[in-house]
Amino acid sequence: MLMSSPQAMAGRAFAPPSLMSARLTSGFEHKLAHGVLRRIECRELLFAEGDAASHVYRIETGAIALNKVLADGRRQVIGFAYPGDLIGLGVEGEHVMNAQAVKATRVRCLPVSALRQSIAEDPALGVKLYEALARELAATRDLMLTTGQRSAVERVASFLLAFSRRNQRVGQDPANFELPMTRTDIGDFLGLTIETVSRTFSKLKLLGLIELPCSNRVKVTDIEALQGLADGAQEA
């Protein structure tokens, strides 16, 4: 077996596209379906950096932000996990990041030992987990390219597009959605302050690319133009 134990894991593209939604094998699915359902309140931690990595978790409803913090409190959100995503995969031992609910969330818990057993029974599951980890790595690197090299507008546009694409992938409206996370979460994800995030949303609204009926609801009205900004077309 190759899987050993938890830590954060994910699995798709860049930003919000969340963490691994791989369709996993039946034995594992079955165990998970019977796993303990746990509720995490808004802002509560599912696990923290340094915790023993005893379980893996699948998000059922809600959303989780995976983050790391510096000694002085500066925070970097590494990714968001949405329903269907699996988190807690990684190296043996301790979690290396915090998993915090951005809204009330339900997760199914599966002990690492049960996961190990599933892998022993079905080696293909091991391969899938490996590939999910590789995808997660690729996604994290894309995010690095974004936070390291792009302007505020490019970052926010990329973020919205990524969220939109994910929505489409899971069969929801790609042009009209609700962001579960706060401006602070978005800022810590993109490496911007909440003021800059807010100003950038306003700017996109002013440019006529999005509408914001209320602060967490986004309607994308010109996805082409948004894509242009994300790709670095000269900004208005």
Partner DNA sequence: CGGAACATTGACCCATGTCAAGTGTCGTGG
Partner DNA sequence: CCACGACACTTGACATGGGTCAATGTTCCG
**Does 25 contact DNA by CB under 7 A?**
no
Stretch that binds DNA, among 7-15, 58-66, 157-165, 192-200 (CB under 7 A): 192-200
**Does 80 contact DNA by CB under 7 A?**
no
**Does 130 contact a copy of itself by CB under 8 A?**
yes
In whole angstroms, give the CA distance from residue 43 to residue 102. 6
Taking CA atoms, 114 is separated from 3, 8, 44, 54, 111, in Å, by: 11, 17, 25, 10, 5
Closest CA to 204 of 182, 173, 162, 235: 235
**Does 212 contact a copy of itself by CB under 8 A?**
no
* β-strands 86-87, 75-81 pairing: unpaired
* β-strands 55-61, 176-178 pairing: unpaired
142 makes contact, choosing from DNA, a copy of itself, none, with CB < 5 to 8 Å by partner type, with a copy of itself
Which residues does residue 78 pair with via DSSP β-bridges, in sequence order?
none
Residues in 95-124 at the binding interface with a copy of itself, rule: CB under 8 A: 96-97, 123
Secondary structure of residue 117 in the 3-state scheme: helix
User: Can you give the binding site for DNA, defined by CB under 7 A?
Assistant: 43, 151-153, 182-184, 191-199, 201-202, 212, 214-216
User: Can you give the binding site for a copy of itself, defined by CB under 8 A?
Assistant: 1-4, 7-9, 68, 70-72, 74-76, 78, 89-92, 96-97, 123, 126-127, 129-131, 133-138, 140-145, 147-150, 191, 231-232
